């Protein structure tokens, strides 16, 4: 028996050595050894990690001692460490560097992970121990963070079926597995539809109006595809400048229709049926848990608290911004008419004419600004902002392994040289990368006695690539996107919490955007731009008059931009406040939901829902409103910096101490009021946008 046990232990040790995901990383700061990890390592590692997690749960459940905060709640918090370590590179790669092979693994893995999660969440004996601790919470001498962990643990189980009967638990298991597969398929369909479309242009005259750097990018697209000409695709770096600059209206319409009809043209990548299945499955789960709608279930753990408060925010902002948006549309229409465009301005015309009106009105456009926003200089400016505000230092470390050659890795240290975090940056589009921009983590932060285990953070973007003749030059919008995601990164890097599940960005969804959106405010500040914005060819600093034009034009078409965001919030809420199964037409549902915020003419055969990954494959279901909610918060919060100075040390220290360090250790309104001294209102936002 002893010999068999030794043999078994040897085999396990051998398997762990052969699979780098299963052994302790012998790398700088225990970063992920990407060079050693192969796709075939993932599934065996997931299976072993799930087994280990199950064993850890069994020890908690079978503990003969009475349930306590330490032996149940803290023990549960610490369980699953290996599974987190295995899942971290996999799920990040699924977004930033996916492949058909990884997607096939994800499809195989999804039901296994859902079943594993359900086996824990629906474990009756485990929940009995949690409930026993929870029921004596008023007698326990817990600090604020421990109280939040206890509350989150109890709610996490209660809101995921722990109180259900055995038969209902079986239903819950099946529904959650189904939902997991549906959301995975939705995201994969969007990526495939985006990558599958392209158009090769042979006649350069058809591309009249496009700046030279855009033409160079399109030519390089063609070269990489082994073709001659200019290759259009549906990635943001092509789509956005094309819609803004291309003079050929027919081509603008063709590109617009290709972009807005992704995953809704029939065939294997059509998401309309999947949408109906997702919302109906979510509704079934919500009903099973005792809620009338999915939004009712979600909003219990949000600052907004309920759908009435969400709709109040959306409708208050709609009332304020719609008259402004209508005047803006009229101005763009009149401008188009003045230029000989005797037609009603459509969605594929809006960016083209609005940008030219902005240029004429303020003498400013992306082509004037981009030479001052060379990516390496912008990185210096953004990192420098963190140095000015929070004393951070960024040191590139080429010894840390990365998942793609284009990724850069930094050690982040505080003003005293103490290590705080690893930061990965990934800036340019690839076929294996999903659209958009995001922050994530490869490792969270937690405290173990006196040891502070620091986080590994990543920010991923899809910025314009360098060309053979020019470095990567960013648009002003890309600069603000960089600041936005970097704000999320600061939230993740500067956290100092005891429990990983409460650290960093593990906060209420409608609070998580505050640290990101507040950083965007610095983008137009002269003192900030003077730190780094110089012409990439001449080295001349960005002129003061150009910065003033940025300030003057900040609120150009703010009404239409805001209504666009509000329309997405309304669409999200429409899908997730349903109280009866959806059996109608997906696009008709969308058109009706977005109508109150519609200014541009309806394009009846285009849509948003089939590619609305935020709510159908991301974490924003019944939560897209949070961008506007956080915009109210960030305008109110930045007003303190505006009043006391954009680099005011005391204000920055308070934001660091009360917001960035605290994660989700207390209710976000408590944290916000500790920084601001009062609750926020929409007044600061309306003032910033020139509405009041």
Residue 56 three-state SS: helix
Give the pairing type, strands 446-448 and 230-233: unpaired
Residue 333, Cα to own-chain centre: how many angstroms? 34
Strands 456-460 and 393-396 turn out to be: unpaired
In order, the DSSP letters of 243-279 are HHH---HHHHHHHHHHHHTTT-SSSTT--HHHHHHHH
Instruction: Name the CA dihedral angle for 485, 486, 489, 491, rounded to a multiple of 10 degrees.
Output: -100
CA angle 194, 200, 201 (to 5 degrees): 130
d(CA 171, CA 429): 41
What residues pair up with 459 in beta bridges, in sequence order?
A: 425, 439
What gap in Å lies between CA 630 and CA 641, rounded to an integer? 17
Are 188 and 138 spatial neighbours (Cβ–Cβ below 8 Å)? Answer: no
Whole-angstrom distance, CA of residue 69 vs CA of residue 367: 59
- 16 vs 10, 24, 35, 44, 109, CA distance in Å? 10, 9, 17, 10, 20
Sheet holding 438-443, edge to edge: 393-396, 408-413, 419-426, 456-460, 438-443
Backbone angles phi and psi of 65, in degrees to 5: -80, 155
Quote the tokens at residue 76.
Answer: 């549960």
Length of the chain: 692
Cβ of 327: how many Cβ atoms within 10 Å? 11
Of the candidates 521, 461, 512, 510, the residue with the CA atom closest to the CA atom of residue 491? 512
Distance CA 578, CA 582 (A): 8
Say if CB 630 and CB 510 are below 8 A apart. yes
How far apart CA 83 and CA 88 sit, in angstroms, is: 8
CA atoms within 13 A on the CB side of 155: 12
C-alpha 292/C-alpha 177 separation (Å) is 21
Instruction: Report the SS3 class of residue 438.
Output: strand
Beta-bridge partners for 458: 424, 440
Nearest to 34 by CA among 398, 397, 400: 400
Q: What are phi and psi of 476, to 5 degrees?
A: -60, -40
Task: For residues 603 and 605, give the distance between their C-alpha atoms in angstroms, rounded to a whole number.
Answer: 6
Of 572, 573, 599, 672, which is closest to residue 632 (Cα–Cα)? 672
CA nearest 476: which of 549, 579, 391, 558?
A: 549
Q: How far apart are CA 630 and CA 597, in angstroms?
A: 19
* CA-based nearest residue to 130, from 220, 180, 190, 68: 68
Residues assigned a catalytic role: 485
Measure the CA–CA gap between 34 and 404, rounded to whole angstroms: 9
**Counting beta carbons within 10 angstroms of the beta carbon of residue 674, is it exposed (0 to 12), middle (13 to 18) or buried (19 or more)?**
middle
Which of 438, 405, 370 is closest to 217 using CA atoms? 370
């Amino acid at each position: 028996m002893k010999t068999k046990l030794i043999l078994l232990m040897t085999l396990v040790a051998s398997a762990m050595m052969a699979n780098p995901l299963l052994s302790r990383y012998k790398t700088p700061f225990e970063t992920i050894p990407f060079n050693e990890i192969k796709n075939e390592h993932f599934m065996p590692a997931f299976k072993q990690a799930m087994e280990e997690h199950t064993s850890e749960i069994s020890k908690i459940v079978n503990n003969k001692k009475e349930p306590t905060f330490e032996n149940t709640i803290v023990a549960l918090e610490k369980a699953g460490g290996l599974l987190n370590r295995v899942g971290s590179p996999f799920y990040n790669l699924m977004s930033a560097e996916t492949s058909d092979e990884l997607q096939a693994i994800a499809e195989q893995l999804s039901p296994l992970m859902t079943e594993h999660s359900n086996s824990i969440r629906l474990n009756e004996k485990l929940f009995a121990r949690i409930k026993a601790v929870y029921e004596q919470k008023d007698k326990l001498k817990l600090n604020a963070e421990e109280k939040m962990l206890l509350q989150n643990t109890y709610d996490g189980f209660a809101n995921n079926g722990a109180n259900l009967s055995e038969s209902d638990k079986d239903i819950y298991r099946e529904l959650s597995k189904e939902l997991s597969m549906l959301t995975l398929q939705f995201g994969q369909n969007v990526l495939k539809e985006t990558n599958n479309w392209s158009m090769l242009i042979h006649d350069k005259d058809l591309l009249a109006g496009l700046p030279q750097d855009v033409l160079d990018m399109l030519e390089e697209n063609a070269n990489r595809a082994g073709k001659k000409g200019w290759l259009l695709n549906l990635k943001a770096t092509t789509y956005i400048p094309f819609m803004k600059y291309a003079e050929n209206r027919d081509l603008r319409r063709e590109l617009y229709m290709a972009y807005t009809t992704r995953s809704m043209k029939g065939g294997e990548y059509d998401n309309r049926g999947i949408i109906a299945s997702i919302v109906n499955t979510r509704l079934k789960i919500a009903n099973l848990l005792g809620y009338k709608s999915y939004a009712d279930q979600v909003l219990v753990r949000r600052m907004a608290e309920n759908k009435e408060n969400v709709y109040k925010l959306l409708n208050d902002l709609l009332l304020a911004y719609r008259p402004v948006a209508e005047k803006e549309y009229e101005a763009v229409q009149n401008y188009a008419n003045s230029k000989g465009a005797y037609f009603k301005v459509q969605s594929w015309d809006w960016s083209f004419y609005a940008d030219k009106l902005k240029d004429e009105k303020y003498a400013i456009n992306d082509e004037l600004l981009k030479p001052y926003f060379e990516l390496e200089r912008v990185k210096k400016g953004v990192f420098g902002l963190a140095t000015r505000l929070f004393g951070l230092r960024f040191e590139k470390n080429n010894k840390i392994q990365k998942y793609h050659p284009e990724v850069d890795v930094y050690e982040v240290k505080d003003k005293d040289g103490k290590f705080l975090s690893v930061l990965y940056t990934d800036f340019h589009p690839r076929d294996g990368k999903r659209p958009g921009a995001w922050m994530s983590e490869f490792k969270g932060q937690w405290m173990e006695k006196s040891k502070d285990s620091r986080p590994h953070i990543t920010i991923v973007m899809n910025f314009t690539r360098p060309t053979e003749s020019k470095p990567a030059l960013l648009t002003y919008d890309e600069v603000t996107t960089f600041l936005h995601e970097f704000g999320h990164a600061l939230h993740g890097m500067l956290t100092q919490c005891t429990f990983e599940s409460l650290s960093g960005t593990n906060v209420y969804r409608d609070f998580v955007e505050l640290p990101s959106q507040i950083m965007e405010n610095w983008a137009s500040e002269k003192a900030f731009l003077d730190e780094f914005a110089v012409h990439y060819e001449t080295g001349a600093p960005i002129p003061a008059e150009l910065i003033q034009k940025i300030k003057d034009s900040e609120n150009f078409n703010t009404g239409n931009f805001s209504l666009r965001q509000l329309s997405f919030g309304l669409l999200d809420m429409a899908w997730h406040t349903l109280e009866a199964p959806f059996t109608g037409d997906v696009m008709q549902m969308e058109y009706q939901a977005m109508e109150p915020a519609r200014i541009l003419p309806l394009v009846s055969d285009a849509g948003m829902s089939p590619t609305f990954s935020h709510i159908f494959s991301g974490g924003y279901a019944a939560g897209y409103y949070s961008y506007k909610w956080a915009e109210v918060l960030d305008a109110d919060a930045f007003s303190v910096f505006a009043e006391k100075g954009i680099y005011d040390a005391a204000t920055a220290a308070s934001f660091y101490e009360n917001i960035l360090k605290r994660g989700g250790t207390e209710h976000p309104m408590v944290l916000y009021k500790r920084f601001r001294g009062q609750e926020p209102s929409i007044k600061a936002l309306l003032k910033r946008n020139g509405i009041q």
